[in-house]
Amino acid sequence: MTGAEALARSIVATLLLLLLMFVLNVTVFSHLQHLASQQRLEDDLRAQLAAGTAPVSEGTFEDVLLADGAPVAIMDIPRLKFHEVVVEGTASAQTAQGVGHRRDTVLPGQVGVSVLMARAAAFGGPFSAISSLDPGDEITVRTGQGLQRFEVIGLRYAGDPTPPNLTRGESRLILQTARGVPYVPTGIVYVDARLVSETQPAGARLTTTGTLGPAEKAMATDARTVWALIFALQFLLAVEVAAVWSFRRFGAQKTWIVFVPVAALAGFFVADQLTRLLPNLL
């Protein structure tokens, strides 16, 4: 086999490996990452709730802006047997961890509108079944201000009439996720719910609708980690070049034994970074 043939085969093998790792990452590994994140987040938040230091605004008790991905609430939907930790922020990195709270809205149960966003398929697909909710179904959210109880008003899609504006002192919860076939979103589905327990005072919010980052909006992508994808691709390229050299120097058997695991690892790194560029509600 000539060097050109070996290189061509290496390129084809690399592309197939990337495709395989991407599919596995989206459909399998992302769910495992989500599960691990949820376990860690719930431990952290329950410790804060027990200590009375869980956040009730966009800042911590030390008046420091909440970090992206900080746990802020625990959400349950009994009818769906749904249990999930809510984190601050709705960019792709945050919705990979769990349900994201949009920074420019109040926390659930506080006076005003609270928006929670989550994925419909990848990374656990937390909101995959919310379109089956019916009016009257219960949603509970435990925050640093106690247990907030909501009742579903209804389901809507883009272009449908929105619920009436809130009156003074009311609180509403809006859930958002991708609509359509799993992994092939065609739009956004909304679930509106009204607070039926006592309303809580709204905490301070530094982020406004005007200052909310574009990556935090529904179905947005986040290109801020493209640099990591570039490094991952460079690593994969280096592995492939080394594999071609090894093939010519030591033969196929030794090359496969040494480089298949390394190439798979490099492919996983690339696939993971590609997954993070997908829409935040996928």
Domain residue extents for the chain = 32-216, 221-281
Lowest model confidence (mean pLDDT) among 44-53, 145-154, 269-278: 269-278
Binned at pLDDT 50, 70 and 90, residue 138 comes out as very high
Counting Cα atoms < 13 Å in the Cβ hemisphere of 129 gives 10
Residues 6+ apart with CB under 8 A from 230: none
What pLDDT score was predicted for residue 274?
84
Q: Please give the Cα distance from 140 to 83 (Å, whole number).
A: 10
- Of residues 117, 140, 90, 257, the one with CA closest to residue 191: 117
Predicted confidence (pLDDT) per residue in 92-137, tens digit? 999 999 999 999 999 999 999 999 999 999 999 999 999 999 999 9
Contact between 86 and 99 under an 8 Å Cβ cutoff? The reply is yes
Which tokens is 114 given? 């609270």
- Average pLDDT, stretch 258-281? 84
Mean pLDDT, the chain, rounded, equals: 89
Q: Taking the C-alpha atoms of 169, 49, 140 and 281 in order, what is their torsion angle to the nearest 10 degrees?
A: 100
Contact between 133 and 151 under an 8 Å Cβ cutoff? The reply is no
- Average pLDDT, stretch 260-264? 82
What pLDDT score was predicted for residue 125?
95
Which fold is adopted by the domain 32-216?
A: Sortase; Chain: A; (2.40.260)
What pLDDT score was predicted for residue 6?
60
Q: Is the pLDDT of residue 3 over 70?
A: no
What are the backbone angles phi and psi of residue 227, rounded to the nearest 5°?
A: -60, -35
Read off the amino acid at residue 203.
G
Binned at pLDDT 50, 70 and 90, residue 10 comes out as low
Query: What is the maximum span of the chain, computed from C-alpha positions, in angstroms?
Result: 77
- Average pLDDT, stretch 227-238? 86
Q: Is the pLDDT of residue 233 over 70?
A: yes
Binned at pLDDT 50, 70 and 90, residue 228 comes out as confident
Q: Is the pLDDT of residue 143 over 60?
A: yes
Q: Please give the Cα distance from 125 to 84 (Å, whole number).
A: 11
Q: Please give the Cα distance from 27 to 23 (Å, whole number).
A: 6
Q: Is the pLDDT of residue 62 over 80?
A: no
Q: Is the pLDDT of residue 4 over 80?
A: no
Residue with the larger pLDDT of the pair 225 and 168: 168
Contact between 126 and 182 under an 8 Å Cβ cutoff? The reply is no
Lowest model confidence (mean pLDDT) among 46-60, 147-161, 236-250: 236-250
- Average pLDDT, stretch 175-191? 93
Q: CA triplet 32, 226, 228: central angle to 5 degrees?
A: 65
What pLDDT score was predicted for residue 7?
61
Q: Please give the Cα distance from 156 to 176 (Å, whole number).
A: 10
Counting Cα atoms < 13 Å in the Cβ hemisphere of 223 gives 1
Write the DSSP assignment of 100-167 as a string of letters: EE-TTSPPTTBSEEEEEE--SSSTT-TTTTGGG--TT-EEEEEETTEEEEEEEEEEEETTSPPPPPPP
What pLDDT score was predicted for residue 100?
97
pTM here is: 0.87
